[in-house]
Amino acid sequence: MTDSARPLRSATGEGNSEPATRRRRRRLRVAPSEEFEAKSRVFMYEFCELLCKVLPGYGQMFRGDLAKVFILLALAAANVQRLMASQQRGAFEAMKERVPGELQTPVNALSVAEATGLPRETVRRKLKEMITSGAVVEDERGGYRLRPGTFQQEQMTELYFASFRAFAKAADVCLEAGLLEVQEG
C-alpha cells in the first residue's frame, strides 16, 4: 500500500492552531482483551448498527453501488492525508472549506484497490464511471482525486453529520459497556 492510500495518521490534533497548554490530550483505547471479549457482542451490534445507518446514505449517491462508495472514501482520505499533516491543515479542518485540486494528492488505481480490497480492474472501471458522473477527476500529475466541492454538496453534508452522530452513539455505548476507555495524557 502506498503512503497516499494509508489511513490518516494525523487526526490526533497535531497541527491544531490552539496552544498546546490549553489542550488536554485524550485518547480512546480498547479495553484489555479479557474485558473486551466479555462484552464483544455489544461492539459488534453497535458496529453493525453504525454501518447500517451510514452506508445506505452513501450508497444512494451511486445508486446502491457500494464499491463506488469505498472508492470515494479511499480517495477522500488519501487525497488529503499530506494536507492534514501539514502546516496548512488549520485552513481546511472545517468540511465547508473546499480543498483545491492542487492541494490534493492524486492516487493511482492500484493504491485505491489495495486500500479497498477491490480488484484493480474493478477500481479502474468504477473510477472511469465516477469521472463521467463528475465526482472524481483524473489529475494532470497522474492518478485520481476528488472534484473540489464533492464533500460540500448538501447531500454529503447531511451524510457526514449523520455519520458522526451514529459514530458518537456507538462510541458512547462502547464507553458505557467498558469496551473503550478514555486515556488522559
CATH 1.20.120 is held by the domain 28-184: no
pLDDT in tens, 107-119: 999 999 999 999 9
pLDDT in tens, 133-170: 999 999 999 999 999 988 888 888 888 899 999 999 99
pLDDT in tens, 76-87: 999 889 888 989
Residue 10, pLDDT > 60, answer no
DSSP string, the chain: --GGGSPPS-TTSTT-SS-GGG---EEEEEPPHHHHHHTHHHHHHHHHHHHHHHHHHHHHHTTT-HHHHHHHHHHHHHHHHHHHTSTTGGGG-STTS---GGGS--B-HHHHHHHHT--HHHHHHHHHHHHHHTSEEE-TTSSEEEPTTGGGSHHHHHHHHHHHHHHHHHHHHHHHHTSEEEEE-
Residue 9, pLDDT > 50, answer no
- Average pLDDT for the chain: 86
pLDDT band for position 95 (50/70/90)? confident
Mean pLDDT over 29-57 rounds to 92
pLDDT band for position 24 (50/70/90)? confident
